[in-house]
Amino acid sequence: MRYSAGRLLWEGLRDQRGWTQTWRSPALKRNYRFVIIGGGGHGLAAAYYLAKVHGIRDVAVIERGWIGGGNTGRNTTVIRSNYLLPESAALYEFSLKLYENLSRDLNYNIMFSQRGIVTLAHTPHDMDNVVRWANAMQLNGIDSEIMSREQVAQMIPALDMSSTARLPVIGGFVQRRAGTARHDAVAWGYARAASSLGVDIVQNCEVKGFLRDDHGRVVGVSTDQGEVKASSVLLNTAGSTSLLAQKVGITLPLQSFTLQAMVSEPIKPVLDTVVLSPATGMYVSQSDKGELVIGGGLDHYVSYAQRGTLPAQTATLTALAEHFPAFRRLRILRQWAGIVDVSPDSSPILGETGVPSLLVNCGWGTGGFKGIPVGGWMMAHHLATGAAHRIAAPFGLSRFESGALIDEAGASGIAH
């Protein structure tokens, strides 16, 4: 069924009786060409691009809970491509361009709102970094504008601009094409489009281990619904990736941390961009419902607990209250957390695992929502052609042996 304004009107006129299920719920088959473990945005996008771009439909996405129930449905939805290094710039800009046409491509409104992201500078040193960073983006062909203190004040009237603030704002830069999208819709849109092309999405099915042949090649997975054979398997399980990798006898360079977020009670429109203070890691935007969507840094120790600690929450809210005094008396409506997979250079790991026929897409850490389209595209390319896409090639595991790290935080001098 195609979604359109005409269809909305038609269904409204006949009491909404014509809507069909958004994606199929098939039984798990015993054999597929490709099995993708993890029904987050990345796994679903890989399945969609396999079917759409490469014509490969004999694919299963196996999800232990519900699709989008991992980090894809828990994030603060910021999408941007404001990276310093050429490798990351190419990766995230590819993703942003796919996002710009995603609602149309999937025939599903992901509510992508290109409201921009403003990165604040608090010291002359920050400002030097910001100028270098924004110039690097322009050299990579990506939009960016350096902002004076006055321009920041004009764009974000609620921001405290007093020079006596603990973290005074002296300028910043904006990427206007950045923005936010509805995270569930990204998962649902990919699921619906992949399912309509023939991909099987199997929820409430946990992968427990891997099937190997005599040469060590992965030839399928064992699940709580039985064994499934496949010619290749893609591991796409974010914070749980290292646990599954252990089952196949490899240790990936990943650490799992808790990352939390919050929303305030809804208020009238007051903030029409995303604001990031790199000094504290606090960032905030306002949702279409009026809630402030508030994020910050990682909780400080490794953990698989999918809930945040009070100190990290307090630090984020303290920073918010310092920058936006008018928000001090708002109540927090909800708080939640996800388990993010952080690699040593905080960049994703895409490609071969060293175990034949087992690929991995992981290491997106705190920033993989914006990478969903590109992560899916790159892994579909790798599965279909047997080789890494040119944009994904620098993000292989081998960089941790060669030393060719893609360390954005280190290079920009500002934490991402």
Ligand X SMILES: Cc1cc2nc3c(=O)[nH]c(=O)nc-3n(C[C@H](O)[C@H](O)[C@H](O)COP(=O)(O)OP(=O)(O)OC[C@H]3O[C@@H](n4cnc5c(N)ncnc54)[C@H](O)[C@@H]3O)c2cc1C
Residue 285 binds ligand X (CB under 6 A): no
Residue 325 binds ligand X (CB under 6 A): no
Residue 346 binds ligand X (CB under 6 A): no
Residue 298 binds ligand X (CB under 6 A): no
DSSP H or E segment with residue 379: helix 372-385
Q: Which of 36, 72, 95, 414 binds ligand X (CB under 6 A)?
A: 72
Residue 194 binds ligand X (CB under 6 A): no
Question: Binders of ligand X: how many residues, by CB under 6 A?
Answer: 40
Q: Which of 340, 350, 355, 379 binds ligand X (CB under 6 A)?
A: 340
Residue 255 binds ligand X (CB under 6 A): no
- The CA-CA-CA angle for residues 329, 116, 113, to 5°, reads 90
Residue 195 binds ligand X (CB under 6 A): no
Cα pseudo-dihedral 308, 74, 278, 309, rounded to 10: 0
Return d(Cα 281, Cα 292) in angstroms, integer: 16
Residue 249 binds ligand X (CB under 6 A): no
Beta strands in 154-269 (DSSP E): 171-175, 179-180, 200-202, 207-212, 218-223, 226-235, 255-264
Q: Which of 18, 26, 65, 311 binds ligand X (CB under 6 A)?
A: 65
Q: What is the DSSP letter of 26?
A: P
**187 and 73 Cβ atoms separated by less than 8 Å:** yes
DSSP per-residue string spanning 382-404:
HHHHSS--TTTGGGSTTHHHH--
* End-to-end CA gap in the chain: 41
Output 171 or 367, the one with its CB closest to ligand X: 367
Name the segment binding ligand X (CB under 6 A); options: 9-17, 116-124, 234-242, 383-391: 234-242
Residue 189 binds ligand X (CB under 6 A): no
Burial of 215 (0-12, 13-18, 19+ CB in 10 A): exposed
Residue 376 binds ligand X (CB under 6 A): no
> Residue-wise over 112-131: b if at least 16 C-beta within 10 A, else e?
bbbbbbbbbbbeeebbebbe
Residue 352 binds ligand X (CB under 6 A): no
State in angstroms the smallest separation of the CB of 170 from ligand X. 25
Joined tokens for residue 385: 């052609």
Q: Which of 122, 182, 192, 370 binds ligand X (CB under 6 A)?
A: 370
Q: Which of 95, 144, 195, 237 binds ligand X (CB under 6 A)?
A: 237
Name the segment binding ligand X (CB under 6 A); options: 140-148, 225-233, 253-261, 324-332: 253-261
Output 147 or 284, the one with its CB closest to ligand X: 284
Joined tokens for residue 3: 């979604």
**345 and 220 Cβ atoms separated by less than 8 Å:** no
- Tell me how far CA of residue 163 lies from CA of 68, 120, 122, 127, in angstroms: 43, 14, 10, 15
Residue 156 binds ligand X (CB under 6 A): no
Residue 338 binds ligand X (CB under 6 A): yes
Residue 363 binds ligand X (CB under 6 A): no
Name the segment binding ligand X (CB under 6 A); options: 50-58, 158-166, 367-375, 400-408: 367-375
**150 and 263 Cβ atoms separated by less than 8 Å:** no
Q: Which of 35, 36, 41, 280 binds ligand X (CB under 6 A)?
A: 41
In the shown chain, the binding pattern of residues 300 to 319 toward ligand X, with x for contact by CB under 6 A and - for none, equals: --------------------
Output 369 or 395, the one with its CB closest to ligand X: 369
State in angstroms the smallest separation of the CB of 373 from ligand X. 11
Output 47 or 388, the one with its CB closest to ligand X: 47
Q: Reading across the β-sheet that carries 332-342, which strands appear in turn?
A: 145-148, 171-175, 117-121, 274-277, 282-286, 292-302, 255-264, 332-342
Q: Tell me which residues touch ligand X (CB under 6 A).
A: 37-43, 62-65, 69-72, 74-78, 206-207, 236-238, 240, 244, 259-261, 295, 337-338, 340, 364, 366-370
